[in-house]
Amino acid sequence: MARQPTILRNFLLWFFRYPPYSPYVSANIAIDVTPARRYLEALNRPAGGADDPRERVTLMHLFVALVTRLYCEFPQANARVLGGQIRAHEGVGVALPVDLLSQKAGASMEVSLALLRRVERKTLRELAAATRATVRAERDGKPEDPLVRLLVPMAKRTPRWLLDGVLTGMDRAAQSRLLAPLAHRLLPISVVVTNPGAVFGKAEGARFLGASMSPPNRLCPVGSVIALSAVQDEVVVVDGAPAVRPVLPVSYVFDHRLFDGVIAGKVLLRLCEMMRDPAAVLGATGERALGV
């Protein structure tokens, strides 16, 4: 569904017409994850002994769940520009890059993409289970998404010169006013969440401070990308005094045509608030649907 833009949005759609001018802006923050870790410890505490069947929840699962709730609260972020129009998503779709280098599938593909559709309908534990299943399928070379399952084998068998032509044709079709709504429905990705700084978790004498990128506006453009680092100890101010706390560096890359810096600031501030008290958003047991 195309969103009716304001005069300012119409100007920015022209001003940042891409290519050649990138409309993406980056902002970097760091979040104290002490409360989030306490929440996860309580959530993952065995309730039925060693054979507790509940799905274990990681910090990454929690972060994706909070971003899903965040995008339900800020519909401006739950959109993208396709076919020259701002198109809102009906639900929240999350794409997670999957490392394949250490897997059997890595022989032909270094990285894959796990696509989670309508994440707002899931609880935190359901999200954790769905993420694990999707990542496992990608690493086994058996993607769950029907479109990816169709396109990847086709791309492997197609000569490079022909593949370039096919992708260019698909891109032009997806960006056309006529077919953009179909492309929007086939790949409803609201946000990409990735962790390029994860390797810094084992680095001594080094910290991941931030990142910047300009996502290509091709085939399936996204409205935003969130990049995470590994949690690292940093000195922060607590009650007016310095304290060492575990901190998660976050880089937020968003399409300026969708919203402005003020909205971006509110999005990041709300994300910090959610990380300080996840139970208020997801429930004490994580059983509240993400879109509620």
291 domain-assigned: no
Q: Give me the CATH number covering residue 133.
A: 3.30.559.10
- Indicate the pTM of the whole model: 0.88
Is residue 171 assigned to a domain?
A: yes
Full residue range of the structural domain in which residue 188 is found:
7-48+56-282
Give the model's pLDDT for residue 48. 60
82 part of a folded domain:
yes
* The pLDDT value given to residue 94: 96
Question: Does 30 fall in a domain?
Answer: yes
DSSP class of residue 2 equals B
C-alpha distance across the termini of the chain, in Å: 22
Question: Could you tell me if residue 292 is inside a domain?
Answer: no
Q: What are the pLDDT digits (tens) for 102-148?
A: 665 445 567 778 899 999 999 999 999 999 998 888 888 777 777 77
Question: What would the two tokens of residue 155 be?
Answer: 């791309």
Ranges assigned E (strand) in 83-132: 85-88, 94-99, 111-116
Considering the domain boundaries, does residue 192 fall inside one? yes
Residue 63's nearest CA partner among 11, 124, 121 is 124
The count of domains in the chain is 1
Per the domain annotation, does 164 fall within a domain? yes
Sign of CA dihedral 187, 190, 193, 194: positive
Q: Could you read off the pLDDT tens digit of each residue along the chain, which spans 292 residues?
A: 677 776 666 766 766 666 777 899 999 999 999 999 999 999 998 776 555 566 789 999 999 999 999 999 999 999 999 988 999 999 999 999 887 776 654 455 677 788 999 999 999 999 999 999 988 888 887 777 777 777 777 777 888 778 888 888 888 898 898 999 998 998 899 999 998 877 776 667 777 777 888 887 777 889 999 999 889 888 888 888 999 999 999 999 999 999 999 999 999 999 999 999 999 999 999 888 887 7
Instruction: Specify if 287 maps to a domain.
Output: no
Cβ-in-10-Å burial (0-12, 13-18, 19+) of 291 comes to: middle
Neighbouring CB atoms inside 10 A of 66's CB total 21
